Each structure stands twice: as C-alpha cells, then as structure tokens.
Chain A
Amino acid sequence: MRVREDFPILQRRVHGKPLVYLDNAATTQKPQTVIDRIVRYYREENANIHRGVHALSVEATDAYDAARERVRRFLNAAEAREIVFVRGATEAINLVAATHGRAHIQRGDEVLISEMEHHSNIVPWQMLCEERGARLRIVPITDTGELRLDEYERLLGPRTRMVAITHVSNALGTVNPVTAIVQMAHQRGAVVLIDGAQAVAHMPVDVRAIGCDFYVFSGHKIFGPTGIGVLYGRAALLEAMPPYQGGGDMIRSVTFEHTSYNDIPHKFEAGTPNIAGVVGLDEAIEYVTAIGLPRVAVYERELLAYGTDALSDIPGLRLTGTATQKAAILSFVIDDIHPHDIGTILDQDGVAIRAGHHCCQPLMARLGVPATARASLAVYNTREEIDSLVTSLRAARAVFA
C-alpha cells in the first residue's frame, strides 16, 4: 500500500538506521495532512468555540461540530449528539464508570470485565466497585488468548449491571466477538461498553451493528493527535447520566442556588475542549477513511500472516496470543532473553517495539510471563520491515546464545 510517504517521521533514522516503527498499539504516527491541519488551525482559525459572535469563533465552532458529525459517520452512530469528545479512551471509560456506573451500580451488583483487559478497562471499574460495594468479576481466556464465551455466559447473572470488554486486545491481538458479547449481555439486561482503542485504525467499526451501549477510542491510535478521544453512548443513556465535570459549556443556566445542565453531548464537555485535537482527529479519520478500512484490514491480515510465519521460524520464540480472529499484533517471548533486552538490542537497529506488560499485568500473570515483546503493525508497515525485525531478533539470539 502506498501510504508510507504520507508519514514524514517514517523517513527518519534512529541510531543511524532507517526507523522501523512497530509500536503502533502504543501510538500511531501522524500523516502530513493531520500535522498540517493542526498547524492551520493555530495559524488561521484559533478561537474558542460556542462563545463569540466573531468570525473566528464561528469558524472554529463549525470545524468542531463538523468533526463530531464525521465521527458519527465513522462509527455509524445514529446521531451526532451521541459523540462526546474526551481526552482518550481512558477518560471515556472513567467518565462512564463515574456517571452511569455511580448512578446504577449498587451494593451487591456485578461488573463483568475480561482477563485480557488493559489497566484502563480494569482500574476505573475496580474503583467503582470498591466505592459501591459491588463485585468485579473476570471472564477468563483460553491459552491461545480467546475469551471463554462459555464462562462469559455463566458469569452473566441477575446482578450483572455492566459489561466492559475490549474489542481488540492490545497485548495479544485477539479480536473479540463483540456483537455476540453485546447480545448475550442485553438478554440479561446488562449495559455494555466496548473498548475500541485497538480496533478503529484497523477495521471498520459500526456501533449500531455491534449494538453496544458505549464505545470508546483514542485519537492518537488512529493517526490523530494525543489528548483527544471519543466516547460514543446511546442517546437515551447519555441523557439519563449525571454530568462528569462541572464548568463552562456544560450548563444551561447557573445561579448560586441552582444549575441546570446543557443537552448532550455538551453536558459532558465542561470547559474549553481540545479544539486542535478535535480538528486533527477529524483529519485523521478523513485520511483513514479515504484509504478505506476494509482495505486496511485486508492488507494488515496479509502482513500479520507474513509476520507470524517469519517469527515462527526463529528458534526458541513463542507467540503469545494465537487467536483465530486476530489483529496485526505479534506478541512473543524468546527463551532465555528478557523482552527488555530484546527491546534494547532491536532499538540499536532502528526497530521500535514495545517490551513490558503492556498495561496488562493481570493478563501477564495469567500467561505466566513477566513481560512480552510486542510488534504491533499498522497500514504503513511492510514485509521488508518484518524482515528487519526478524534479522534483528536473530542477532539478539546470537548475543544471548
């Protein structure tokens, strides 16, 4: 796919070698169009939104609202007011836990998450359960890294109020059957949040087809800027939720005796938002939509198959996460070489991977490893880059032989 030239950073060298960027699950690189868009906003359009009557404020407001509409189309949400701009997936989950969660979860209720969740989809629920005297229950996974649907069904009980599951595992690459997960939860009357942080840049997402109540993602993992993310929530749920933070823009009227709140989504967007982030995200979504996510998915599937074969040829290497439905994430361990040492050796060759627990300490405990090395791919990666990864891994093995 001819997209590499769109990303200026991919031209740079690291330690004198061409950069091979394989840490896309941590964050993706930004195309020139996104960088230009943010610069243009600050050079030509900067003003606060929903405030002034002057031309710049109107332009900034229009751009902000247009971005919301683009995100709606991108997720196929029913209405633009179901899209709330937040700092990222983490804030979106915290928002839902702190508002919907506090309002609906009582002593003895249960929140269901899975063993493969990122800390951001564990800790907010843990905090909520501690506060409310509720119980956090965990859906186990198989040794290949797939969700145990039989166990999920068993754990879904009369006290299950909330289910929060990742769409794609950041540490394993597993793609979860979210439509089935949602259906089963809804049959029991539970509300479902899907963490889409690792999905949106790699496959088409349709929140109405999935049927979920909440869907969250971060802009920086889909070629957009950091500090901006999206919470999708069904309008009826968002309307029933108490506000998250108080401040400007989230109010309708304020007196010292009483404040009435603004309509959704503004009720959840207190204070001047990250306008540059929003227009940058808008451009990023336009970029990835123009390539076409179905094409991206096909390309990454081929790249994953190539990478899986190439890594499997390395003696002593074991892939962690071999689900049948997998995104382009290659998580692995090598006998007698700690992932951190692998990371340092690869970095000297310009190959950027992640080494560690991937913010999934309970998952690492389940897999019985302290950490893994992880190459996570994106649409701009190539087979040649996988070859560089393999060459560098063989060199690492030689050091520790």
Chain B
Amino acid sequence: MSAELQELYQEVILDHNRRPRNFRVLEGGRTAEGFNPLCGDHLIVYLKVDGGVIVDVSFQGSGCAISKASASLMTESVKGKNVGDVARLFERFQQMITAPPDAPVEQLGKLQALAGVRQFPIRVKCASLAWHTLRAALDVRNEVVSTE
C-alpha cells in the first residue's frame, strides 16, 4: 500500500471509524444536519452551549471512514472550548487539510491524524463535513448543510 494511503488510513482514523466517540443523540440542545451529495455522507451534529462554551457535543449518521473519523475527532477536540476558539480551530483544520502535500503539518493535536487528506483533494469534503455542520449548529441555522 502506498505511503499516502497509509497516512490517510492511519490507525487513529480506523479506530475512530470503528468506534466513533460521542456517537449518540443529545436531547434538548441545538442540532444541524450535514449532507455530502457526492458520496451520500449524512450526519447530524448535536450541541449544547452554555455561556459561550460548548459543554457537550455529539453526532449521528453514516458516511465513509474519513467523514466519520473526522466527526468523532472533532467532537473530542471542541468539547469544553469556547465558541470563538472553535471557529479559529476550524480555520486551522481547513488550512491543514487543503495545504499542498509537501507543506509542514501544523500542530493540531489529535486532529493532525487527518493531515493525510491533503494528498486526496477529492476527500477534503468528507473531512470537513462535520465541521461545516458544527458551524451551522453554532449559528442555529435550521438548514441542511451541503458540501457541494
């Protein structure tokens, strides 16, 4: 298997795909729905915000390993953070997965596991779907988010 594939499907990704964290319905909070028409990835992000801080976050849905692992890793990395910090984190995450293949990888903690996506531009939408959906939930936009 190629080095690019090994980086893309590294153990962290496979593990979060097999056992997604915070994969549950969260009653009584905000929700948003995300949809990728290209491959049929579909997820719902559930969110509880208190005093500008994300106190709980979860997701449900179906999709490829990249979209599922990305959603799972996202829930872990935004819980407990304030909304402004999350917006900046999304920006840095987006930069990381769309950077040229040879650019140095930014320090983004466990989210770095998704850096392999930059070798596969067609999969960027898979990795960013959960984040776009999270942003929609934060904005309380009651609409379906599409990556197309």
- Decide if A and B are genuine partners: yes
Find out whether the CB atom of A344 lies under 8 angstroms from the CB atom of B42: no
Partner of B120, one of A336, A344, A370, A400: A344
Whether a CB of chain B sits under 8 angstroms from the CB of A364 is: yes
Find out whether the CB atom of A15 lies under 8 angstroms from the CB atom of B2: yes
Find out whether the CB atom of B126 lies under 8 angstroms from the CB atom of A399: no
Q: A338-B65, A400-B14 are in contact. Are A344 and B40 (CB under 8 A)?
A: no
Whether a CB of chain B sits under 8 angstroms from the CB of A189 is: no
Whether a CB of chain A sits under 8 angstroms from the CB of B23 is: no
Nearest CB on A from B89, distance (A)? 25
Bound-state CA distance A337–B68 (Å) is 12
Whether a CB of chain A sits under 8 angstroms from the CB of B74 is: no
Partner of A341, one of B2, B38, B40, B66: B66
Main secondary structure of the interface of A (DSSP, over half): helix
Bound-state CA distance A356–B126 (Å) is 13
Find out whether the CB atom of A399 lies under 8 angstroms from the CB atom of B63: no
How many chain A residues touch B (CB < 8 A): the figure is 20
Find out whether the CB atom of A345 lies under 8 angstroms from the CB atom of B39: no
In chain A between 188 and 231, which residues have their CB closer than 8 angstroms to a CB of chain B? none
Find out whether the CB atom of A371 lies under 8 angstroms from the CB atom of B123: no
Q: A356-B38, A357-B40, A371-B39 are in contact. Are A341 and B64 (CB under 8 A)?
A: yes
Residues from chain B with a CB closer than 8 A to the CB of A340 are: 39, 41, 63-64, 66, 123, 126
Partner of B65, one of A15, A364, A395, A400: A400
Whether a CB of chain A sits under 8 angstroms from the CB of B1 is: yes
Find out whether the CB atom of B2 lies under 8 angstroms from the CB atom of A356: no
Chain A interface (Cβ < 8 Å from any Cβ of B): 15, 336-341, 344-345, 348, 355-357, 361, 364, 370-371, 395, 399-400
With A338-B65, A345-B5, A370-B42 given, can you name 18 additional A-B contacts, CB distance below 8 Å?
A338-B64, A340-B41, A340-B64, A340-B66, A340-B123, A341-B65, A344-B5, A344-B120, A348-B2, A356-B38, A356-B39, A357-B40, A361-B40, A364-B40, A370-B62, A371-B40, A399-B9, A400-B17
Chain B interface (Cβ < 8 Å from any Cβ of A): 1-2, 4-5, 8-9, 14, 17-18, 38-42, 62-66, 120, 122-123, 126
